[in-house]
C-alpha cells in the first residue's frame, strides 16, 4: 500500500515529509536502521543481528507497496530519513481486523513532534483501512513512547519481564498495548 507524501511543521519550525518510502530512499532507510540500532536499547534490533543492506530495503519497499493490508511511512527532513513507522496487517479472517504498529525515530530528532505526526498518520490510515484494533509492543523503559501511545488512547494489555537481554546480562521488560478503533469517527 502506498501512502502519498504530506508535509508537516515540526516544533523547531522545520518541515518533515511523511509518506511511503521510495526506491531512491533505500540507502537512507539502511542508514536509519543502523543509526537507531546504535542509539537505543529500546528496539528489538541489534547490529549483532546483522545490518540491513540497500537490497534488503529495496525488497522491503516493494513488499510494502504490494501489500493490501500493510504499509510503511518514512519521516524525511530534506532527503534524510529520520523516522519510520509501519502497520503490519494480518490476512487470516479471524485476525484481519487487527494490526501491529512500529515506530522508530533517530535520537537527534526526538522531542520535535515526529512521533505524534507518525501516530496521527498510522491511526488515520488504520481507520481508512477499516481496521478495528491497533496493537504494539514497547520496551518498559521507553516512557516517552508509552506516554505518546497513551495520548493516542492506547491501553495497557499486559507486561512481560525479561523480554530483552543485553550484553551485560541485564534484562528489560515489554508492555503490550492496544487501541480500539471501533466507534471512532474517521477524520
In the chain, where are the structural domains located?
A: 6-132
pTM of the model: 0.90
Q: Give the CATH H-level superfamily of domain 6-132.
A: Gcn5-related N-acetyltransferase (GNAT) (3.40.630.30)
**What is the spatial distance between Cα 82 and Cα 80, in angstroms, rounded to a whole number?**
6
169, 156, 8, 11: which is closest to 85 by C-alpha? Answer: 8
User: Pairing relation of β-strands 15-19 and 6-9?
Assistant: antiparallel
Cα–Cα distances in Å, from 92 out to 15, 102, 158, 179?
38, 20, 24, 20
Q: What is the pLDDT of residue 187?
A: 47
| Backbone φ/ψ region at 130: left (φ over 0), alpha (ψ -120 to 50), beta | left
User: Pairing relation of β-strands 80-89 and 70-77?
Assistant: antiparallel
Encode the chain (187 residues) as per-residue pLDDT tens digits: 888 999 999 999 999 999 999 999 999 999 999 899 888 888 776 666 657 888 888 888 898 888 888 899 999 999 999 999 999 988 888 989 999 999 999 999 999 999 999 999 999 999 999 999 999 999 999 999 999 999 999 999 999 999 988 889 999 999 999 999 987 765 4
Amino acid at each position: 500500500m502506498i501512502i502519498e507524501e504530506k508535509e508537516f511543521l515540526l516544533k523547531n519550525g522545520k518541515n518533515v515529509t511523511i509518506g511511503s518510502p521510495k526506491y531512491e530512499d533505500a540507502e537512507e532507510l539502511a542508514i536509519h536502521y543502523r543509526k537507531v540500532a546504535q542509539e537505543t536499547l529500546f528496539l528489538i534490533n541489534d547490529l549483532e543481528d546483522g545490518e540491513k543492506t540497500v537490497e534488503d530495503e529495496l525488497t522491503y519497499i516493494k513488499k510494502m507497496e504490494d501489500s493490501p493490508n500493510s504499509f510503511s511511512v518514512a519521516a524525511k527532513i530534506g532527503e534524510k530519513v529520520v523516522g519510520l513507522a509501519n502497520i503490519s496487517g494480518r490476512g487470516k479472517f479471524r485476525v484481519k481486523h487487527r494490526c501491529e504498529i512500529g515506530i522508530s525515530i533517530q535520537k537527534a530528532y526526538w522531542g520535535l513532534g515526529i512521533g505524534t505526526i507518525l501516530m496521527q498518520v498510522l491511526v488515520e490510515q488504520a481507520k481508512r483501512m477499516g481496521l478495528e484494533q491497533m496493537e504494539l509492543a514497547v520496551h518498559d523503559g521507553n516512557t516517552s513512547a508509552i506516554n505518546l501511545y497513551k495520548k493516542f488512547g492506547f491501553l495497557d494489555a499486559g507486561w512481560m519481564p525479561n523480554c530483552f537481554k543485553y550484553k551485560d546480562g541485564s534484562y528489560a521488560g515489554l508492555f503490550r498495548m492496544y487501541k480500539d478503533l471501533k466507534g471512532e469517527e474517521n477524520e
